[in-house]
Amino acid sequence: MKKVLLAVIALALTTAVYYTASADDNTANTGIDYHYVSADMPKLTGIAFVAGEGGHIALINLATMKSPVSIQNDRITITNSGSEMEGKIAGMSFEKIKRGGGIHASAIVGDKLYVGLLDGRMVVHNLKTGMNSEPVQIGQKICDVMKGPDNSLYLEDMADGHIYQWNYKKAKLVDDIPVGAAVCGIQWVHNNKVAYVADMPTGTIYVLDWTTKKVVKKITDPQMTFIHQIHLRPHTNQLWVSAPNEYDPGLKPPTHKSQLVVIDTDSNKVVDHIVLPEHRYPHDVAFTQDGKWVLIPARTYQDDSRLMVMNADSHKVVADVSACGSCHEANGIVVKMAEGHPNLCGITVGWGMKHKPIGG
């Protein structure tokens, strides 16, 4: 058993052999029901890249929706494990940092995956070669990485509440924008004249004049007590906020349901609360290009994290598959960090991307 675990660790430290899962690699029978897909599941083509505190990115082929089982083919290893609740959040010191690893989000630009780490660095993963760049220090604790309306990536920091602007063509940090306490997502609307920024521990959505980079309005709601990444639903004026509400205001024990909160960006009013099933705590959302379906990476705070697919109009969940437990079970991996909870975070999707070998 010890030799098996050592082999698993050694493989985890290597780069991925493939950048997407093969259907043939998802046939392991673990005896556990990790895979629910209803007849209403739409036909999708693409790869979901879901970042996790374990330091790697889970890969789910949307054409098959089969849960990852191969540590070689179904994930990309970026760094060692870590936890978002270690170190600083909103300038406050939490548990002492023991690992200094973990990742929280990524963004695809061309054939490169820009990955934000929980120690404030960024790694660029080449999807063709499977190689990682040397880490670059950006901030303190990266929560999200978003491609902006220019030749920039915007990295939101949950330690200092700043947004860091990175020009990916020049590989250069060009701006540092202070916004809130622990920001975790950004979206642009109204011809990129306005930006919405999520502040995790305060449950606040800041509205910024993007010309001046100044806050002009704050949106709050009693059902947003602890929030994460945000996204605009395509072809609508709806901003969807992942609100797992793991804490009440002041980081007190939670009393509010885990949900998605929808904001109308014309009126800046909350127009809907979508309560999720028990033990599903959303940390991000990703919409299909037509805006009809939404992919939701959700923690269970048990022995798994899940990827859900929901009808954006009816709010019916049509798929709910393992993104962590299936692979851990198949390979005898025991999670020892975060009280044994494998925690996933942000999602980015390579639409149309299919399985092929590195360099193929």
Q: Which of these, 21, 40, 41, lies nearest to 330 by C-alpha position?
A: 21
Determine how many CB atoms are found less than 10 A away from the CB of residue 290: 10
| Rounded average pLDDT over 20-45 | 61
Q: Is the pLDDT of residue 25 over 80?
A: no
The residue count of the chain comes to: 360
Q: What integer is the mean pLDDT of 81-89?
A: 52
Write down the pLDDT at residue 169: 95
Yes or no: say if 26 and 68 are a contact pair by the CB < 8 Å rule: yes
The SS3 of residue 169 is coil
**Per-residue pLDDT tens over the stretch 233-272:** 999 999 999 999 999 998 899 999 999 999 999 999 999 9
pLDDT given at position 81: 54
337 or 84, which is more confident? Answer: 337
Average pLDDT, the chain: 84
Handedness of CA 204, 209, 212, 213 (dihedral sign): positive
Distances (CA, A) of 257 to 158, 165, 275, 279, 286: 22, 34, 7, 10, 21
Side-chain half-sphere exposure of 305, counting CA atoms within 13 A: 29
The predicted model scores a pTM of 0.85
Two tokens, residue 129: 């070669």
Band (pLDDT 50/70/90 cuts) for residue 100 is low
The domains located in the chain, with CATH, are: 2-22+34-351 (2.130.10.10)
Contact yes or no for 127/356 (Cβ under 8 A): no
- Residue 145 is predicted with a pLDDT of 97
pLDDT score of 89: 54
